[in-house]
Amino acid sequence: MPVTRTSSPGRELIERFEGLFLRTYDDGEGVLTIGYGHTSAAGAPVVSRGTAITSSQADEIRTNDLHPCERRVARLVTASLNQNEFDALVSFEFNTGDLGRSSIPAKINAGRKADAMDTLSRYVHGANSGKLYPGLVRRRKAERLIFEGDVEGALQLAGGHLGSADVTPRRAGSIGVGVGPPQRSNNSPPPPKRSLVAAFLSAVLAIWKGKST
C-alpha cells in the first residue's frame, strides 16, 4: 500500500520547526501567520490582525493544512516511497509549496534520490527577500535526515520544544508560508525586566562619574 498520510514523527518535525502561535504574528515578510505556520493562502480560516485561537484549533488547522500537501506528494511522486521519505517531502511542501515547481519529484521518480535531496537542500532562501536563513538550512538538513531514515537525528536537529522561542524561519511558497525571524510564543515568558537595584546602582555610578570629572 502506498503511503498517503504523515506519521507522528513527521508531524512532530513540522510542528517543531513551525512553532505554535495562538495569536497572529507577521512572519517577517508581511504575511500574517497563526498556529503551526498557517496563513490565509493555505485556506480557512482567514488570518487577520488580532486573531486568536486555541491549541486544539491549531491542531485542527494543521491537520487540514497537511492534507493537500500529502495529496500533492502522492500525486507528484510516482515512485514508491517509504514512510520516512514521504514525511520529509510533506515537510518540504508544507514549508515551501515548491515541490511541484522543483525537479525533486522527477529525480525521485528516476531513481535519483540523492540528487533529489541535493536539490531540496538548496531551498534555504526567503522567497521574497532572497535572504539566506540559517533556520531553513537546518530544516533542509533535518528533512534530508528523515528522508534517509534517521528520524531521531532529524528531531534532535529540529531541537527546542513546542511553544518555545526556538522557532525557525519559514520559506515563502504557494501555500503562503513565509519567512521571518524567530517569534516568541504566546506561552513564553516575557523578557526579564531590569531590576530596581541595578537601575539604582547605575544612577549612583553616573552621578559619581559626573563629580569626578
Active site residues: 18
| Maximum C-alpha span of the chain | 82
79-82 contact pairs (CB < 8 A, 24+)? 79/108, 79/109, 79/111, 80/2, 81/2, 81/3, 81/108, 82/3
The CA–CA distances, whole Å, from 134 to 26, 168, 171 equal: 19, 8, 11
134-147 vs 113-120: helix crossing angle, rounded to 10: 160
Q: Do the Cβ atoms of 80 and 138 come closer than 8 Å?
A: no
Chain centroid to CA 80:
26
| Range list of H helices, the chain | 8-18, 55-76, 83-96, 104-109, 113-120, 134-147, 151-158, 196-212
Torsion of CA 153, 154, 157, 163, to 10 degrees: -130
Angle at 40 between CA 36 and CA 44, to 5 degrees: 85
